[in-house]
Structure 1
Amino acid sequence: MKLTKLSLAAVLPLSLMVSPCFALDCASSGTIHVEGNSSIEVMPNIAELTYSSTSENKDAKIARQNVEKTISKLVDAAIKLGIKKENIISDSLNMYPKYTYPESKKPVFQGFSATRQVTVKVEDFSLIDKITTAAIDAGISGIYGFRYDVKDQSKYKLEAEKLAITDAKEKALRLANGFDVKLGKPCSLKFDKQSDFQMYNATSPRLLKTAMVNDMAQSSAVAYSPEKQTLTSKVYATFIIEDKD
């Protein structure tokens, strides 16, 4: 039996599936369209901790020196804990004048506010509490929480992509067998650009103010156990339906 212009759509319309390089083949043949999906769970193996130091003073130099002193103490403490220098990232200094604005009067200069952030990357999660304690001891004024991440993501993405491709092939074969047609070569293939890790912050990204930092200093050590992160992948494929012998 000869089949012409037969289209079995598992997921998407042809107009969304055809890429220019395969357009002629897809347009001139019956096709099967499928979407392959996969998801794998990966345990995070790195954490990024972010702290800030802020100082206000009418002398800009003093405000800056206070901030630099605090950041230097934290960096030195992190290095003593075994953190490599390349895993300690200090942002540039941010400084601006502060004013009050009395009603119907000229602005009143209050001084300069200097702020600098530092991010510490750790692979040993037992150091999270120790570094946070060191940051508090150094005099930091804010904690921005921390974020779990996965190093060497490429190998996990490759694994997820292979699973998505396998899923697409199996779906195409099930459709072909179910409708008693012969599955031909693919005429359009593409990955979904949105495939990626579903990241999460271990704490809210909002700033924890000085009062909360002081409360944390009084608390006992906390064990940090990250949750697995999910990596998803999706592929779209269009296969030609061939004539059965």
Structure 2
Amino acid sequence: MKNTCLAIVLGVSAFASASAMAADIPFPHLETTGRGEVVVQPDMAVFSVNVVETKKTAVDAKLAVDQAVTKFIERLQAAGVDKKDINSANISLAAQYNYPKDHKPELVGFKANRSVEVTVHQLTKLNSYLDDALGDGINQINNIDLKVADSAKYQQQARQKAIENAKQVAASLAQGFGNRIDGVWQIDYDTNSQPMPYMRANSWVGGARQDSIDQSYTDNNIVIKDSVNVIFKLAEK
């Protein structure tokens, strides 16, 4: 049995190093990039909201945002959200000035900004949480990030598809040129692969039922992608 030397390179610069090393390989070879993806439905989400208030004094501004956040957290916990899934520790406070022409700046008040990040494990409740936020004085919804709880499992599936794709492409190319694959010389893997979510279009005319609105948040897909660069040895003719 032939002995095959296999190198595995991990990191962002993997592709560059593979190309550089491939130029020095003293035997017939070919390079391929295998790609794989898995499409899954999200089963959780993380959303963030903001409350911004401007008042005459710093104390009043802070009090206003604190009260709104406290009411929101109380409603979330009453609805069954675990305290560990609520992050509300950050706050910013800044003086606000008016700048009249040819006059010194005038202090007009203080702006307080406080955000809350919530992890939702039941997507069917996401819309009600957002409604609660707006009802409690929160005046900005910043982001809704759809996720899957077991992303590592799906990332592994996408990786295996990428590996199979690299093998199939290499075998097809070698066969097309009247040759065959004779082992793997180097594997370069980008460890920064991340799930790529995309939204599937949803639309309806006014008067939609509540369950339809809830479905508009959950009827989406997350595409988890992966890729691998491989240098294959070709059989000696």
2:135 to 134, 137, 146: 137
Tell me the residue number matched to 2:235.
242
What amino acid does structure 2 have at the position aligned with 1:226? D
Structure scoring higher RCO (CA < 8 A, sep ≥ 6) equals 2
Contact 2:197–2:224, Cα closer than 8 Å, also in 1: no
Alpha-carbon distance in structure 1 between the residues aligned to 2:198 and 2:180: 45
Distance 2:167 2:120 in 1: 40
Alpha-carbon separation, structure 2, partners of 1:96 and 1:108: 14
In structure 2, the CA distance between the partners of 1:31 and 1:199, relative to structure 1 (3 Å rule), is same
Rg bigger for which structure?
A: 1
128-137 vs 186-195, which deviates more? 186-195
User: Alpha-carbon deviations, 1:56-107, whole Å to 9, x = none?
Assistant: 2222112111111110110110011111111111141100000100000011
Distance 1:174 1:226, change over 3 A: same
Shift of 1:121: 1.3
Q: CA RMSD in A?
A: 2.5
The change in CA–CA distance for 1:81 and 1:15 in structure 2 (over 3 A counts) is closer
Equivalent of 2:115, from 97, 102, 117?
Answer: 117
Q: TM-score, normalised by structure 2?
A: 0.80
Give the alignment's TM-score, normalised by structure 1. 0.77
Q: Post-superposition shift, 1:177?
A: 2.6
Q: Distance in 1 between matches of 2:36 and 2:182?
A: 23
2-structure distance, mates of 1:65, 1:201? 38
> What amino acid sits opposite 1:234 in the alignment?
S
How many Å separate the matches in 2 of 1:38 and 1:154?
15
| Runs of 5+ unmatched residues, structure 2 | 1-14, 201-207
Matches within 5 A, 1:3-152: 17-18=18-19, 27-152=25-150
Distance 1:79 1:15 in 2: 50
Asked whether 1:165 is paired with 2:163, we answer yes
Aligned-partner residue type, residue 33 of structure 1: E
Q: Gapped runs of 5+ residues in structure 1?
A: 1-13, 203-218
Q: 1:182 to 1:146 in 2, by over 3 A?
A: closer
Distance 1:239 1:135 in 2: 55
Residues in 2 aligned to 1:145 and 1:165: alpha-carbon distance in whole angstroms: 34
**Residue matched to 2:7:** none
SS in 1 for 2:109: strand
Give the letter for the 1:17 counterpart.
A
Pairing partner for 1:178 from 176, 179, 188: 176
Aligned to 1:154: 152
Cα distance in 2, alignment partners of residues 18 and 105 from structure 1: 63
Secondary structure at the counterpart of residue 102 of structure 1: coil
Deviations 1:106-162 (A, max 9, x none): 111111111101011112122122212221222212222422122232111111111
Name the SS for the 2:218 alignment partner. coil
Could you tell me how far apart the structure 2 residues matched to 1:158 and 1:135 are? 36
Residues 123 and 181 (structure 1), Cα distance of their counterparts in 2 relative to 1, 3 Å cut:
same
